[in-house]
Amino acid sequence: MQETEFYQQILGLKQPWFVADVKLDPEAQQVDVYVEHPEGTSFCCPECGKACSVYDHTKSRRWRHLDTMHFRTVLHAQPPRVNCPEHGVRQATLPWAEKSSRFTIFFERFAIDVLLATQTVQGAQGILKTSWDETWHILKRAVARGQARKSAKPMPRIGIDEKAFRKGQNYITLIYDLDRSTVEAISDGNDTESGNACFSQLSQEQRDSVEAIAMDMSAAFVRSAKQNIPMAEHKIVHDRFHIMKLASEAVDKVRRGEHRQLKSQGDDRLTGTRYLWLSGQENLTDAQRERFDRVYKQELETGKAWAYKEMLRDLWHHEDAGSATLFFQDWYRRVIHTKLTPLKKVARTIKERLANVVSYCVHGITNAVAEGINSKIMSIKRRVGGYRNRENFKTAIYFYCGGLDLCPQ
């Protein structure tokens, strides 16, 4: 088989295109493949598909193709332009590459697979032997392609959460499809307007399809949901993990205060026990559990706070909102008559939003999916040392977490 026929086959070229020449440069470790078409060939207008005669050709262009063994392979051709009676002069569609791309379709598909596998642009560069700009160009095109193809599917269960872009008060807001585990919308900031900007990226049909919204206890997100989702006051579910985190932080505040008081009296019983109070019992070693039992039995204020925190977990084990409400009211009466000020503050916070806490018993959703995606985003950020450009950060999130159809056809 001649080398021109060989590349004709591996490029998948069909008439009227053919490989006219192949040049090998061993010193540069590069293969140059020259593609042409016969004179008098007609091409279809990219707008209407009507067969038209060739008007002229653009200057010769280059496209990076998959390597031949370890040799860089470059495709060369002069793209034809057609003169359509209806649409005027247009460049004909090329079968081996998408419009404005510097790479063949085969190479872009491979590059996307490498980007997904390595999870970083820099990691993909070393494998693809491309520059950062070239690799990022492929990633951006893939996201644009995926978003253009994406249909506005119903999203019955969604989550809204914030994510730090950089240290300090620098956030982005994200909306998640909890059933598909994908990021559906991103906006700058973490206030009500940020939430509105996110919801505006969903179609009206998608907003109408929402049956439940998981979120933390952010007043800004509550306002935004009520402004954008019909009957949102009955659909909001304050995330149980967020509430239990508040309760755990309250226990730790009680521990710190009591530890300072005991230490001033020469009592070090609570020294080095922070992990014991904040971790689940199932995560403790036998030695840690034994020490926890010894300290807990001494009836310290920290032990009482921990017991109330653990009791609160049962709120989400009720079958209906009514029984969950009765449970909380009993728990609240017990806590509010203690001297555990940090825990009392949490109890009052939950009471103010109780309807949207016990709504978990109706909708059964949490922001666990959002937390999982956030962990993935943070992992990507760490691998590349962070994103200085906010728009690049958003693009990367959509690429890795958007559930998009990224590859060219």
Whether residue 16 is preceded by a cis peptide bond, meaning omega within 30 degrees of 0, is yes
The pLDDT, as a whole number, for residue 109 is 97
The pLDDT, as a whole number, for residue 115 is 95
C-alpha dihedral sign at 13, 15, 16, 20 = positive
CA distance 208 to 154: 8
The pLDDT, as a whole number, for residue 381 is 75
The pLDDT, as a whole number, for residue 211 is 97
CA distance 25 to 23: 7
Nearest by Cα to 24 from 6, 12, 36, 9: 6
Helix ranges, 271-320 (H):
274-278, 286-296, 301-312
pLDDT for 67-119, tens place per residue? Answer: 998 899 999 999 999 999 999 999 999 999 999 999 999 999 999 999 999 88
What tokens were used for 261? 């008081």
The pLDDT, as a whole number, for residue 380 is 77
Nearest by Cα to 120 from 406, 400, 403, 405: 400
CATH number of 157-239+366-389: 3.30.420.10
What tokens were used for 211? 């049956």
**Residue showing tokens 């032990």:** 303
Q: Identity (one letter) of the amino acid at 134? A: E
Whole-number Cα distances in Å, 219 to 208, 216, 247: 22, 9, 18
Those residues of the chain that have pLDDT short of 50 are none
pLDDT for 134-166, tens place per residue? Answer: 999 999 999 999 999 999 999 999 999 998 877
The pLDDT, as a whole number, for residue 169 is 65
Classify residue 388 by its DSSP letter: S
**Within the chain, which residue ranges are assigned CATH 3.30.420.10?**
157-239+366-389
